Amino acid sequence: MHWSDASFGYFPTYALGTTYAAQFMAAMEKNLDVEQTLLDGNLSLIFDWLRQNIHQFGGSIETQDLILKVCGEAFDPNYYVNYLITKYSTLVGIPFE
């Protein structure tokens, strides 16, 4: 736990990373049937996409530039909002309108 050593600053970075991941997932799904790839257990396709589109840059470019390069658009938190709506409305059986 980060709290034990007073490292509270990590939590906002987790939230940002999760919102970025939702947008990266949408970009990945344009090139790859992610659900079927996972069902097939062919993780190498996902790893290859991540390596080619994200990991190869490491920290050499700013996050906003990486998102623009990978997704073709600026950071948009609505990808994460839509993910949450879909996940939890399905989970509790209440459609969101």
Counting as low any pLDDT under 70, the low residues of the chain are 1-4, 6-9
Q: What is the pLDDT of residue 2?
A: 62
Any domain includes 75: yes
Q: What is the pLDDT of residue 12?
A: 78
Query: Which structural domain, as residue segments, surrounds residue 47?
Result: 25-92
Q: What is the pLDDT of residue 60?
A: 96
Residue 8 is encoded by which pair of tokens? Answer: 């509270």
Q: How many domains does one find in the chain?
A: 1
Any domain includes 8: no
The whole model's pTM is what?
0.84
Any domain includes 16: no
Q: What is the pLDDT of residue 11?
A: 75
Any domain includes 97: no
Any domain includes 55: yes
Q: How many CB atoms lie within 10 A of CB 11?
A: 11
Any domain includes 56: yes
Cα–Cα distance, 5 to 31 (Å, whole number): 42
